A = this chain, B = another copy of it.
Amino acid sequence: MPDASRVAVIDLGSNSFRLVVFSSIAGRWWRRTDEIYEPVRIGAGEGETGALGPAPMERALHTIEAYAHFCRASGLVLEEVQAVATSAIRDATNREEFLSSVGEVSGLPVRVLSREEEARYGYLAAVNSTTLADGAMLDLGGGSVQLVGVASRTARELGSWPLGAVRMTERFLPGEEPATKKQLKALRGHVGDTLAGDAGWLAATGDRLVGIGGTVRNLAAAAQRRAELPSFGVQGFVLERETLAEMVVELAEMTPAERARVPGIKPERGDLILAGATVVEAVLEVGDFAALEVTEAGLREGVFFERYLAPEALFADVREASVLNLAHQYPIDPPHVEHVAALALQMHDALVEQGVLERDAAERELLWAAAELHDIGMTVDYDDHHKHSRYLILNAGLPGFTPREVALIAQMARYHRKGSPGFGELGSLMGEADDELLARCSALLRLAEQLERSRDQLVREVRLAADDGRVRLELRHDGDVSVAAWAAERQRDLFQRAFGRDLEIQA
C-alpha cells in the first residue's frame, strides 16, 4: 500500500490505552493497519483520591514511551500523532504533572478532550459505522459515560457523566466476592438517579441505541457465545434488553475471577464487567430502549473519521461505503467486477418487473454487495478463491450491516462459482426465508459471472422475459457471444431451483 497515508491515533482511556494506525487513500479506502493495546488502567484508585496513583502513572508512562518509539520507527511524525486523553486524565488533580512527564519521556503532544469533544467523537464513530439516524449513542468507558441524542444523523443533546466501569466498580462493587443484592441496588440507584436528572431527553429520542466501548464489545461477545451463535466479531450485533438482564443476574452470582473466565469476556475485564453491564442496563431503562446495537468502532475511529471525511465528517451511505471500502482494498479486475454487478442487477430488476420476483430493496442491495466483493479472495490464492472471499468478508466485516446480512453476502460470494448454496455453520443466524433468498441471489450472481466469463464485457446487457413458466434471457452484445451463452446455459439447474422456472438463453 505504497500511496496510502497513515495517521496514528492514541486513545489514553481510563481503563486502557490504545495506539491505532489508520491507513487510507482519500475517497477510496481506509483501514486499521496497526494497533497496540495495553490495559493500563490509569484511573485505578482515582475515585478515592482524586489523583492518578504512582503505579498507574508508571504503567502509563512505560506504555506511552513504547508508543512513541513505535511511531518514530514507523516513520510517523510525532507532532501529527493524534493523542487524546479522556475522563481519568481530564479529571485528575495531578493532571498537569502527569502530562509534563508524558512530554518528557515521549515528546508526544497530548490533547485532553473536553466532555463535549469526547461525546462528539463517540457520536462520529457510531453514525459512521451503523445506520443510526434517529436515536442515541452510548459510549461507556472506564471513567465516564457519554450519551448523545441523534436526529436525522445529527448530534443534538450531548452529555458526559463520571459513571465509567472502573469508577463504578471501585465505588460500588469492590472485592473478590459475588455481588450482593444491596450493592447492585445501590449502583443501579446511583446511575438511574444521575441520568434521570440530566439525561431525561433520552426517552424522547428515536428508538435505537448504539453502544461503543470495551464493555459493550465484551458483553456482545459473551452474549454471542451464550446463545451459541457463530461469531466473526460483534459489529452490528443486537443485544436485547432481556438478554442483558439475564446476563447481569448470572454475572452477579459469580466472583470477579469467575467472570474473567466467561467466554467472550477478556480476562483483564473480569472485575469491571458487572458494573459496566449494570450501567448499560440502566441506560436502556432510562431511555426505554428494547436493545443495544453494538459497533466495534470507538473514540479512535471518531478522531480518524473527522479528518478522513472532512469537511462533512459523515459517510453519505454507511452500507455502501463499507462495501466499496472493502472492495477497493482488493482491486481485482474492477471492470469485470463492476460488469458482473451490473448484469446481476439487470436480471434482478427484470425479474421484479416480470413479476417473478417480489420487489425488495434489501435483497437487491445484498446482491449488489456480493457482486462487488465476489472476487476479493483471489488475494489469498486463486484456488478456492470463492471460499477465501467468504473468509475475508466475514473477518473484515461490513459496518452498517447486521451479522445476518454480512453472512448472507459472504455466502453469496462463496457460491459464485460452484457448489450448492447453503449456510453451514452460519445457519443459526438466518431467518426462515433466507435459504430461498440465498438461492436466488447466488443463481443471479453465478449467471452474471458466467455471462462475463471471458471478462471482456462482450455481453453488454441482458433483457429478460417471463412466460409459460419459462424465463428467456436475451443477450445484447458487440460480438460473438456463443461462449457466454454456452457458459450460462450450464446454470439452468441452479436457476430452476431458485426461481422454479426454466431458463432459456438467446444470443
Task: Find A70's partner among B36, B65, B455, B486 (CB 8 Å cutoff).
Answer: B455
Kindly report which residue of chain B lies nearest to residue A487, judged by CB atoms.
Answer: B66
Q: When the two chains form their complex, are residues A33 and B378 in contact, meaning their CB atoms are under 8 A apart?
A: yes
- Judge if A47 is at the interface, Cβ distance under 8 Å: no
The 10 closest A-B pairs by CB, nearest first: A73-B456, A69-B454, A66-B483, A32-B382, A73-B455, A70-B454, A381-B396, A35-B382, A66-B454, A69-B456
A149 to chain B, nearest CB (A): 30
Q: Complex formed: what's the CA distance from A381 to B34 in Å?
A: 9
What is the copy number of this chain in the assembly?
Answer: 2
- Evaluate whether A453 and B36 lie within 8 angstroms (CB atoms) in the complex, with A62-B482, A483-B65 already known: yes
A36 to chain B, nearest CB (A): 7
B-binding segment of A184-192, A387-395, A430-438, A464-472: A387-395
- Judge if A380 is at the interface, Cβ distance under 8 Å: yes
Which residues of chain B are near A381, meaning CB under 8 Å? 31-32, 395-397
- Judge if A457 is at the interface, Cβ distance under 8 Å: yes
Return 6 A-B CB contacts under 8 Å, by A number: A36-B453, A66-B483, A73-B455, A73-B456, A73-B458, A380-B395
- Evaluate whether A382 and B33 lie within 8 angstroms (CB atoms) in the complex, with A62-B482, A62-B486 already known: yes
Q: When the two chains form their complex, are residues A483 and B391 in contact, meaning their CB atoms are under 8 A apart?
A: no
Q: Complex formed: what's the CA distance from A65 to B484 in Å?
A: 10
Which residues of chain B are near A73, meaning CB under 8 Å? 336, 454-458
Kindly report which residue of chain B lies nearest to residue A396, judged by CB atoms.
Answer: B381
Q: Complex formed: what's the CA distance from A146 to B456 in Å?
A: 37
Which residues of chain B are near A486, meaning CB under 8 Å? 62
Q: Which of A66, A378, A391 is packed against the most chain B CB atoms within 10 Å?
A: A66
A476 to chain B, nearest CB (A): 17
- Evaluate whether A69 and B382 lie within 8 angstroms (CB atoms) in the complex, with A388-B395, A395-B388, A455-B74 already known: no
Q: When the two chains form their complex, are residues A396 and B380 in contact, meaning their CB atoms are under 8 A apart?
A: yes
- Judge if A379 is at the interface, Cβ distance under 8 Å: yes
Q: When the two chains form their complex, are residues B34 and A382 in contact, meaning their CB atoms are under 8 A apart?
A: yes
Residues 213-253 of A, flagged 1 when their CB comes within 8 A of B and 0 if not, give 00000000000000000000100000000000000000000
Which residues of chain B are near A396, meaning CB under 8 Å? 380-381
Task: Find A483's partner among B69, B379, B395, B456 (CB 8 Å cutoff).
Answer: B69
Which residues of chain B are near A34, meaning CB under 8 Å? 378, 382
Q: Complex formed: what's the CA distance from A382 to B397 in Å?
A: 12
Residues 447-490 of A, flagged 1 when their CB comes within 8 A of B and 0 if not, give 00000011111100000000000000000000010110011000
- Judge if A384 is at the interface, Cβ distance under 8 Å: yes
Q: Complex formed: what's the CA distance from A397 to B458 in Å?
A: 35
- Judge if A383 is at the interface, Cβ distance under 8 Å: yes
Size band of the A side of the interface? 35 or more
A78 to chain B, nearest CB (A): 13
Kindly report which residue of chain B lies nearest to residue A63, judged by CB atoms.
Answer: B483
Which residues of chain B are near A483, meaning CB under 8 Å? 62, 65-66, 69
Residues 39-81 of A, flagged 1 when their CB comes within 8 A of B and 0 if not, give 0000000000000000000000010011001101110000000
Kindly report which residue of chain B lies nearest to residue A329, judged by CB atoms.
Answer: B379
A296 to chain B, nearest CB (A): 8
A121 to chain B, nearest CB (A): 19
Which residues of chain B are near A35, meaning CB under 8 Å? 382-383
Q: When the two chains form their complex, are residues A382 and B456 in contact, meaning their CB atoms are under 8 A apart?
A: no
Which residues of chain B are near A458, meaning CB under 8 Å? 69, 73
A66 to chain B, nearest CB (A): 4
- Evaluate whether A382 and B66 lie within 8 angstroms (CB atoms) in the complex, with A72-B456, A73-B455, A455-B74 already known: no
Q: Complex formed: what's the CA distance from A457 to B380 in Å?
A: 29
Q: Complex formed: what's the CA distance from A296 to B381 in Å?
A: 13
Which residues of chain B are near A66, meaning CB under 8 Å? 453-454, 483, 487
A454 to chain B, nearest CB (A): 3
A484 to chain B, nearest CB (A): 8
Q: When the two chains form their complex, are residues A383 and B233 in contact, meaning their CB atoms are under 8 A apart?
A: yes
A113 to chain B, nearest CB (A): 24
Which residues of chain B are near A72, meaning CB under 8 Å? 456
Which residues of chain B are near A457, meaning CB under 8 Å? 73
Q: Complex formed: what's the CA distance from A31 to B382 in Å?
A: 8
Kindly report which residue of chain B lies nearest to residue A452, judged by CB atoms.
Answer: B73
Known: A62-B482, A233-B383. 9 other contacts (CB 8 A): A33-B378, A35-B383, A65-B482, A65-B483, A66-B453, A69-B458, A70-B453, A73-B455, A379-B379
Q: Complex formed: what's the CA distance from A455 to B34 in Å?
A: 11
Q: Complex formed: what's the CA distance from A244 to B134 in Å?
A: 65
Q: Complex formed: what's the CA distance from A455 to B73 in Å?
A: 6
Q: Complex formed: what's the CA distance from A252 to B380 in Å?
A: 38
Which residues of chain B are near A397, meaning CB under 8 Å? 381
A203 to chain B, nearest CB (A): 35
Q: Complex formed: what's the CA distance from A66 to B487 in Å?
A: 9
